[in-house]
């Protein structure tokens, strides 16, 4: 579950980033960051429940949207806010595929005790 904790932290950073970097080009970027960050936090938190254990896979879609909107929305080189979004998108794409039980031992070993 360590990857879900990291996703929550990255989502919180994404929510705070419009006020840290400031978007000079438009208010829609503020909304994009806040909505995308909230979705990342929600999906990572939903992965902690039994019913939503696969919700973290939808974070990949949010990351693709975030990276594409930042990459194609600005001229090169992009402003710091766009570079932040692209970096976060790459980090989220790295983390979303990590299984929830990645730090647990393999399933056949869980029931065994050593004597």
Is the Cβ–Cβ distance between 108 and 30 less than 8 Å? Answer: no
List pLDDT tens digits, range 25-45. 667 778 888 999 999 999 999
**How many domains is the chain built from?**
1
List pLDDT tens digits, range 60-111. 999 999 989 888 877 777 777 888 889 999 999 998 888 777 666 667 777 7
Instruction: Quote the Cα angle for 27-35-75, to 5°.
Output: 50
Instruction: For residue 21, give every residue at least 6 positions away whose Cβ sits within 8 Å of its Cβ, in sequence order, or none.
Output: 79, 80, 81, 84
On whether residue 114 sits in a domain, the answer given is no
Is the Cβ–Cβ distance between 33 and 18 less than 8 Å? Answer: yes
Structural domain of 11 = 7-100
On whether residue 1 sits in a domain, the answer given is no
On whether residue 21 sits in a domain, the answer given is yes
């Amino acid at each position: 579950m360590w990857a879900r904790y990291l996703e929550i932290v990255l989502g919180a950073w994404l929510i705070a980033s419009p006020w840290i970097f400031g978007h000079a080009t438009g208010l829609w970027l503020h909304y994009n960051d806040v909505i995308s960050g909230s979705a990342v936090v929600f999906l990572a938190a939903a992965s902690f429940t039994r019913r939503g254990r696969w919700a973290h896979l939808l974070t990949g879609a949010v990351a693709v949207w975030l990276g594409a909107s930042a990459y194609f929305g600005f001229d090169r080189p992009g402003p710091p806010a766009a570079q932040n979004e692209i970096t976060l998108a790459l980090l989220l794409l790295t983390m979303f595929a990590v299984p929830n039980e990645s730090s647990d031992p393999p399933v056949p070993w869980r029931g065994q005790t050593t004597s």
